[in-house]
Structure 1
């Protein structure tokens, strides 16, 4: 049996891969923090919980669907576990310009 902590780390890595595929560069270059993940493994199956930031603007619904699919597929490929659930929590949307506000003249 694979420990929950190991499955969570694999899922967090898969989430970084998915984000990179969506935005075309490492999430850190956009000011995004690393995705955090929890996992509960039981009887050959895993339930995953991901907490992450997304760049703004982005199609949130499409991005989340792709993220859930990619993370579930990668965890299954790498561990052999059946992923029954991938729950996402979006902590915040991050604008590439950061918190800087521009004055329109």
Structure 2
């Protein structure tokens, strides 16, 4: 794997796409958390906010965050609006902690 040094190009542009097929026995590792599995299907900015929530919020606040996120995603609002709303929500909950 090559180290990414150029900031004007993404890794795929520099190194080419990863053409290797996934192993046939590719399955979640034992003990993997469900959130890690969901993160694979989550857009990168949303996954970043999820990681921030997991690392900064109490378990009760994290439950509130996940419920709020589910409601926002179910409404199928603009992604930018969802991201900004969830970012503010996590910041507010983490400050109360």
- Which structure shows the bigger proportion of residues in strand conformation? 1
TM-score, structure 2 as length reference: 0.27
Max Rg structure: 2
TM-score, structure 1 as length reference: 0.25
- Which structure shows the bigger proportion of residues in helix conformation? 2
Higher relative CO (CA 8 A, sep ≥ 6), structure 1 or 2?
1
